[in-house]
Structure 1
């Protein structure tokens, strides 16, 4: 009897997701209901993993900029959804048992990290000086 191909295990998803999150500066991992939750610089979580209590599907919940939630859920309702509890605050759910583009997931994680991380940490990550150049600084160093 042929069985449909199985997707990655929850443990594999957690490991891959953890690698993406912990590659960003200042990220701290905590457990929330037995699943990893990631925050930055002692600030609240910016994304976390969940298993749906109704169907056991693995999901990523992430903080999103204003307007992003409605756009994603409307454009791709098979992948994105409004999660319970944090959905009214603009968070977005991403189903992880569908075909995943891990580069896209990494981009989503970085965007929600940027919404939560201190500006100096983001500037350092981007390689940009946190303070403005003084008026007598010139580009050629003279």
Structure 2
């Protein structure tokens, strides 16, 4: 059975996140488990998340899930805007809640790019570096 959508396509946060994610080499979007997912061969960003034990809540519906560098993981968790998402959290992923404070889109871009670099192939990372 397909998961029901957990987003609206006209969400302004999603629109801005799409611009950030789809600007990366060979990035595409699909819907998986009711959420927009950005990927190359592997997922590097997800719009919307949940926390363990609270799967029905829309508390983090307007957030981005990403895979940070390991060295930044604990420091990011000291900031109230970040959370450990269900499903992705055990693999080191974090979420940035867009509702906590107006997003700094430069910061979002850096976090998404870092996640992309942590998941993309060497060829795609090289293409990103050449484009910068």
Q: TM-score range by the shorter chain?
A: 0.7 to 0.9
Could you tell me how far 1:55 is from its partner in structure 2?
4.1
Of 102, 121, 124, the match for 1:118: 121
Could you tell me how far 1:109 is from its partner in structure 2?
0.8
Of 73, 80, 88, the match for 2:77: 73
Consecutive unaligned residues of structure 1, counting only runs of 5 or more, are 1-8, 129-142
Could you tell me how far 1:68 is from its partner in structure 2?
2.4
Taking structure 2 as the reference length, the TM-score comes to: 0.78
The Cα offsets for residues 22-71 of structure 1, whole Å up to 9 and x where unpaired, read as 0000101110233210111xx22111011543244412111122242222
Moved more, 108-117 or 60-69: 60-69
Larger Rg: 1
The Cα offsets for residues 52-108 of structure 1, whole Å up to 9 and x where unpaired, read as 43244412111122242222102x0x2001111111111011001122111110111
| Residue in structure 2 matched with residue 50 of structure 1 by the alignment | 48
Q: What is the rounded CA distance, in whole Å, between the counterparts of 1:54 and 1:18 in structure 2? A: 23
| Residue in structure 1 matched with residue 102 of structure 2 by the alignment | 99
RMSD: 2.0
Instruction: Call closer, same or farther: CA 1:10–1:63 in 2, change over 3 Å.
Output: farther
Q: What is the rounded CA distance, in whole Å, between the counterparts of 2:85 and 2:19 in structure 1? A: 23
Moved more, 64-73 or 88-97: 64-73
Consecutive unaligned residues of structure 2, counting only runs of 5 or more, are 1-8, 51-55
